[in-house]
Amino acid sequence: MDLILVNLIDGLVTGLLLFMLSAGLTLIFSMMGVLNFAHASFYMLGAYFAYQVSVYLGFWMGLLIAPPAVGLVGAMIERYGLRRVHQYGHVPELIFTFGLALLIEEAVQFIWGKDQIAYNIPEVLQFTAFSIAGNSIPAYKVFMIFISVAIFLALLFVLTRTRVGMIIQAALSYPRTVEALGHNVPLIFMGVFGVGTGLAGVAGVIAGPVLSTFPGMAVVLGSIVFVTIVIGGLGSLWGALVASLLIGWITTFAKSYNLRMEDLLTGIGFSRPEPIWDSAWADLWTLTSPQIADILPYLLMILILAFRPYGLFGKRDV
C-alpha cells in the first residue's frame, strides 16, 4: 500500500511534467494544425538557458528568466521560419520542425558541449519533505508538483475566463471569422506558439536538475510527448492532462513492480523450457515489465490510432 502511494506520487511528477510539454504542443496543434516536432527541443533549451542564468544569478532567477527567453525564441522561429513554410502545407511544416529539432540539438552541443552539465537542485530544496514507510519524498518533487499544477490552473483560467483566452479559443475554431472581426490572427498564432514553447521551457527548467541536462534530453522525451497528445486526442487540453497522467503512472508502475512473463506463462499452464538460454522462446520467458515500460506508451498510441483515431478526448481526426 505504501509503495503504491510512493509510485502514485512518482507517476504524478512524471505525468505533470509531460503535461506541461503536451499542453503547449496540443495548443499549438489545435491552433495551427502543425505538430511541432521540435517541442521537446524547447524544453531542452529551457534547461540550458536556466543553467546559464543560474551560473550568474542562481536557480530562482533562472526559473524566472529562462521560460520567457525560450518563448521569445519560439515566437521568433514561428514568425520568421514556420510562417514562411506554412504556405507549402502541413507535411513541409512537420519536416521543418523536424529539421529544427536537429538544429537545436546541434546548436546546444555547439554552445554547451556534448557532456552533461552541472545544473543542480537549489540548496533550499535539498531536503526530504516527508516519508512514507521509509521511502523519502524529496521536497523538489513536491515543488515540481506545485509548479505544474499552478501553471495548469493559470492556463485554464486564461483560456476560459479572460478576453484573450476567448479570442484564442475562437481563433482555434474559426480563424477566418476572428480575422474578419478585426483581430490580428497571425499575431495570436505567434503568441500561442511563444506561450506553448515557453511552457515547454518551464518544464525544462524544473526537470533539468532531476532528469539531468544533456544534449540528448530532447530526444528522450520528444517522441513521448507526441504519443501523449495523440493518445489524449489532438487539440484537447483535458485529453493531454489525462494521457500525461496515464503514461506517467503506467511507466512508473511497470518499472517498480517487477512483473515477469515467466510467472504469467506458468500461471496459464506452460512449463518453463530448460535450459532457458537454449530455447527459441528465451526472450519471451525472460521478459519483465521494467523492460517494456518504455515501449508501453508507443503500444498504446498505435492501438489508439488504429482503433480510435480521435484519441481519448479528441473531437477531430488527426
Partner 1 sequence: MTEPDQKHTPPPARTPVRARPAPVTLANALPWILGGLFLLAMPFIFQSNSAITIMNQMAITIIFALSYNMLLGQGGMLSFGHAVYMGVGGFLCVHIMNWGDVFALMPLPVLPVFGGVFGMGLALIVGSFSTRKAGTIFAMISLGVGELIAACSVIIVAFFGGEEGISGDRTYGLPFFGVEFLHQIEVYYLTAFWLMLSALLMFLFSRTPIGRMANAVRDNPERAEFLGYSARWVRFYSFVAAGFFAGIAGGLFAINYEILTEENLNLATSGQILLVTFLGGVGFFFGPILGAILFTLLQTVLSLQTEIWQLYVGVLFLATVMYFPGGLAGVLMMHALPLRLGRAGLLVGPYIRTLVPAVVCALGAASAMEILFHLRHAALGESEMTLFWITFDSHAPLPLAIAAVAAVAGFWLARRSAPAMAEAWHKASTPHGGAA
Contacts with partner 1 by CB under 8 A lie at 35, 81, 84-85, 88, 90-92, 94-96, 98-100, 102-103, 106-107, 109-111, 113, 219, 223, 226-227, 230, 280, 282-283, 287, 291-292, 294-295, 298-299, 301-302, 305-306, 309, 317-318
Burial code (b: 16+ CB inside 10 Å, e: under 16) for 23-34 equals bbbbbbbbbbeb
Shortest reach from residue 251's CB to partner 1, in Å? 12
Q: Provide the 10 A C-beta neighbour count for residue 178.
A: 19
Task: Give the integer Cα–Cα distance in Å for 256 and 263.
Answer: 16
For partner 1, the closer of residues 113 and 273 by Cβ is 113
For partner 1, the closer of residues 90 and 161 by Cβ is 90
Shortest reach from residue 309's CB to partner 1, in Å? 6
For partner 1, the closer of residues 85 and 159 by Cβ is 85
For partner 1, the closer of residues 23 and 229 by Cβ is 229
For partner 1, the closer of residues 60 and 298 by Cβ is 298
Residue from 70, 76, 59, 81 nearest 24 by CA? 70
Spatial contact of 305 and 318, defined as CB atoms under 8 Å apart: yes
Give 131's DSSP letter.
E
Shortest reach from residue 122's CB to partner 1, in Å? 26
Shortest reach from residue 84's CB to partner 1, in Å? 5
Shortest reach from residue 45's CB to partner 1, in Å? 15
Looking at residue 314, its amino acid is G
Rounded to the nearest 5°, which phi and psi values hold at 212? 65, 140
Spatial contact of 241 and 235, defined as CB atoms under 8 Å apart: no
For partner 1, the closer of residues 64 and 95 by Cβ is 95
Shortest reach from residue 302's CB to partner 1, in Å? 5
Task: Give the integer Cα–Cα distance in Å for 181 and 278.
Answer: 72
